[in-house]
Amino acid sequence: MDVNIKRIDGVWTLGYSLDKHTTSSTPIGYNEFRHMQFDTVRPEAGEALFQLKYRSDFSQASLIAQQMNKSLGKFFSSSNLIIPMPASRARSRQPVTEIAKELALLMGIPCYENLLVKTGVTPAIKDIPTREEKVSALMGAFTVNDLLPSGLYDVLIVDDLFDSGSSLEAATNMLKGYSKIQNVYVATVTRKR
């Protein structure tokens, strides 16, 4: 997989994404339901993520995790555990969780699926006007479960898409408030900017 990694800055210790989400999206007309259709061109990581999330091709989770380990693993070598970013949409099988579990196997560290959980309902983030209000609304929706043995840990949050960074900022702030977390790292498959 060809990738174009980029550092993503935020309140976390260090973050990287594999590639852009899309390279172009051209309107091609309306379908029979009067919804605009697009010809979207994605880089390889973006296409793999699209196939995983919207075509339920779970074989892509392993390919994405392998590329994350190859391209980003060196940046997160001090991580003691991986957590998937809590999903915003309920699915019987969560794509981000599948990627996180595969990456944890490759890195030889545990994946804690329920360390950070989404417990509250938030309004549509796109409808919240300011970044600060978005982060505040999201922080109220997360809970950290005390699942770790005593000690200090460096945690790697795995997410699918980096857009404004609001959800990752809220998750990072929640984890930093947990006495057993030392550093928080972020790895995303794609980024919008």
Of the pLDDT bands very low, low, confident and very high (cuts 50, 70, 90), residue 23 is very high
Of the pLDDT bands very low, low, confident and very high (cuts 50, 70, 90), residue 17 is very high
State the average pLDDT for the chain: 92
Tens of pLDDT, residue by residue over 147-173, are 999 999 999 999 999 988 888 998 999
**Average confidence (pLDDT) over 85-110:** 92
DSSP state of 117: E
**Average confidence (pLDDT) over 138-151:** 88
Tens of pLDDT, residue by residue over 53-96, are 999 999 999 999 999 999 999 999 999 999 999 987 777 789 99
Instruction: Kindly list the structural domains of the chain, giving each domain's residue range(s) and its CATH number in brackets, ordered by start.
Output: 6-191 (3.40.50)
- The yes-or-no verdict on residue 187 having pLDDT over 90 is yes
Q: Counting beta carbons within 10 angstroms of the beta carbon of residue 149, is it exposed (0 to 12), middle (13 to 18) or buried (19 or more)?
A: exposed
Give the global pTM: 0.90
128: Cβ–Cβ under 8 A, 6 or more apart, which residues?
134, 137
